[in-house]
Amino acid sequence: MEQKTTPDFIVIDDEAVNNMICLKIVQSTFPGAVVHTFTEPEQGLEYIIFTYLGNDIENAVLFLDINMPILTGWDVLDKFEKYSTIIKERLKIFILSSSVDARDKQRALNNPLVTDYIPKPLSKAKLQWLFPEYV
């Protein structure tokens, strides 16, 4: 298997503009990084489960929004629950939300699947701070 310098990034947010921002920011910070964006959580979930539960594959970073119609970010985390060990090993999950409500942050941090809570927008500075090893 080919060795990558940076992990793949997955973004799930119903707002297309956020996904565009994430894509540009990630690619500018880590040139050549692969970014998969999904405006429908169901599709993102399907992709993740299909890709990361299957075979021997590199780890990935997931930026997950909370406030989405139909499936919220919390719902997505619940669905991961039953795959938890494998997902935990392969996915680094960050909640990426525009909310600055302390309760949202606390709820995210209380979830063992969540690595950290990032208030939007994603920026180069935040990425460099989160992943100094790839800079």
Partner 1 sequence: MQVQIKKAVLGVTVDITEQKKLEAERAKMTDDIIKRNKDLEQFSYMVSHNLRAPIANIRGLTEIMQFPDLDDGDEKRCIAELDASVKQLDTVIVDLNYILQVTHRENEMKEQVKFSVLLKDVELSILNLIKNDSVQIIPDFSAIDQLYTLKSYLYSIFFNLISNSIKYRQPEIKPVITITSAKLNNKVQIIFKDNGLGIDLERNGGEIYGLYKRFHNHVEGKGVGLYMVKTQVESLQGKITVSSEVNKGTEFIIEFEIN
Which residues would be at the binding site for partner 1 (CB under 8 A)? 14-15, 17-18, 20-21, 24-25, 28, 39-40, 67, 69-70, 98-101, 119-124
Which one, of 54, 115, 112, lies nearest residue 78 by Cα? 112
One-letter amino acid of 109:
L
- Pick the closer one to partner 1 by CB: 62 or 96: 96
| CA–CA distance, 21 with 19 (Å, rounded to integer) | 5
In the bound state with partner 1, the residue whose beta carbon lies nearer, of 7 and 41, is: 41
At 73, list the tokens.
Answer: 């970010």
Q: What is the Cα–Cα distance from 38 to 85, expressed in whole angstroms? A: 23
Shortest distance, position 57 Cβ to partner 1, whole Å: 28
Q: How far is the CB of 126 from partner 1 (least distance, A)?
A: 10
Min dist. Cβ of residue 121 to partner 1 (A) = 3
